[in-house]
């Protein structure tokens, strides 16, 4: 038991690696409305929690590992999930998403969020087309410039694609506090629908300028690294929960904060 990881425990509880809406202490899944947020530029509502695919979906051609990811996606959709995020930077993740989408049911709510991560216009166009084929979708709901790479080139392509109805929303991403100054400038001057950056209980720099600016400009925010890639969990795992919290978890299976 000493070396049992959270992931292994979750797998043994459910038969697969899904972490979404886990049954608590052997009870059935919790019911209730899913928290949704409106995309400011249209008012369209999507669930607040999405599915990221960095590392976790980069499993190559291994059939068993691919099938396990497809099962995670199925559970995600069955429990009301919608947004899946990926990038050409994430190895085989896009192909693994496509494998899952081709096999699962009940995926009509998919909100596909891809990224362009390359320099030069032609290469960007080709990369986005390759991503669309990997996913096996007609068009992306959201296409983002990954980590601001050659953003001034790609933003023009994305604006054209949006005007032609080939993508519904456009955005820009960064993480770990990189290039916030540049991101702020883009948010002030470009007609983007989404912005993505890191935000968690330790990394709160975005509260000063970027979050208020997003609210002011009507830009939707995607938060990445909410647990600092798991570091926050590791730092806290040996600390006992405050008394009230522990009682709350025992009763509902989830923290109240």
Residues that bind ligand NAP (CB under 6 A): 6-7, 19, 52-54, 85, 146-147, 173-175, 196, 224-230, 233
**Minimum distance, C-beta of residue 232 to ligand NAP, in the bound complex (Å):** 7
Q: With respect to ligand NAP, which residue has the nearer C-beta, 34 or 105?
A: 34
Residue 112 DSSP symbol: E
Integer CA distances (angstroms), 240 to 10, 200, 237, 245, in order: 21, 20, 8, 10
Q: With respect to ligand NAP, which residue has the nearer C-beta, 104 or 116?
A: 116
**Minimum distance, C-beta of residue 5 to ligand NAP, in the bound complex (Å):** 6
**Minimum distance, C-beta of residue 230 to ligand NAP, in the bound complex (Å):** 3
Per the CB < 8 A criterion, the answer to whether 80 and 111 are in contact is: no
How deeply is 171 buried, as exposed, middle or buried, from its count of CB atoms within 10 A (0-12, 13-18, 19+)? buried
Per the CB < 8 A criterion, the answer to whether 50 and 85 are in contact is: yes
Per the CB < 8 A criterion, the answer to whether 112 and 137 are in contact is: yes
Q: With respect to ligand NAP, which residue has the nearer C-beta, 54 or 136?
A: 54
**Minimum distance, C-beta of residue 84 to ligand NAP, in the bound complex (Å):** 8
Alpha helices in the chain (DSSP H): 6-14, 63-78, 93-103, 121-135, 151-163, 180-189, 210-217, 231-236, 243-252
**Minimum distance, C-beta of residue 101 to ligand NAP, in the bound complex (Å):** 16
Q: With respect to ligand NAP, which residue has the nearer C-beta, 12 or 164?
A: 12
Torsions phi, psi for 140 (to 5 deg): -80, 145
Q: With respect to ligand NAP, which residue has the nearer C-beta, 53 or 74?
A: 53
What residue number has its CB nearest to ligand NAP?
Answer: 52
Give the pair of three-digit tokens for residue 57: 């979906």
Q: With respect to ligand NAP, which residue has the nearer C-beta, 165 or 194?
A: 194
Residue 66 DSSP symbol: H
**Minimum distance, C-beta of residue 18 to ligand NAP, in the bound complex (Å):** 10
Phi and psi based region of residue 148 (left: phi greater than 0; alpha: psi -120 to 50; beta: remaining): left
Q: With respect to ligand NAP, which residue has the nearer C-beta, 157 or 174?
A: 174
β-bridge mates for residue 114, sequence order: 143
**Minimum distance, C-beta of residue 144 to ligand NAP, in the bound complex (Å):** 7
């Amino acid at each position: 038991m000493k070396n049992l990881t959270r992931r292994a425990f979750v797998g043994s509880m459910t038969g697969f690696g899904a972490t979404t809406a886990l049954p608590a202490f052997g009870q059935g899944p919790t019911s209730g409305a899913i928290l949704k947020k409106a995309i400011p530029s249209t008012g369209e509502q999507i669930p607040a929690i999405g599915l990221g695919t960095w590392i976790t979906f980069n499993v190559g051609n291994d059939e068993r590992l691919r099938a396990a990811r497809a099962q995670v996606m199925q559970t995600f959709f069955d429990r009301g999930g919608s947004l899946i995020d990926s990038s050409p930077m994430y190895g085989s993740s896009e192909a693994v998403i496509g494998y899952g989408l081709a096999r699962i049911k009940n995926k009509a709510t998919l909100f596909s969020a891809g990224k362009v991560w390359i320099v030069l216009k032609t290469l960007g166009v080709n990369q986005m087309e390759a991503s669309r084929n990997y996913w096996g979708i007609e068009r992306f709901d959201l296409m983002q410039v990954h980590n601001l790479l050659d953003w001034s080139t790609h933003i023009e392509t994305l604006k054209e694609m949006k005007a032609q109805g080939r993508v519904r929303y456009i955005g820009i991403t960064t993480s770990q506090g990189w290039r916030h100054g540049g991101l702020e400038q883009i948010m002030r001057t470009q007609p983007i629908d989404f912005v993505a950056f890191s935000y968690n209980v330790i990394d709160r720099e975005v509260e000063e300028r970027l979050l208020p600016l997003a609210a002011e400009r009507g830009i939707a925010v995607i938060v990445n690294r909410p647990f600092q890639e798991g570091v926050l969990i590791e730092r806290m795992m040996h600390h006992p929960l405050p008394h009230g919290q522990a009682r709350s978890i025992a009763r509902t299976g989830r923290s109240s904060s």
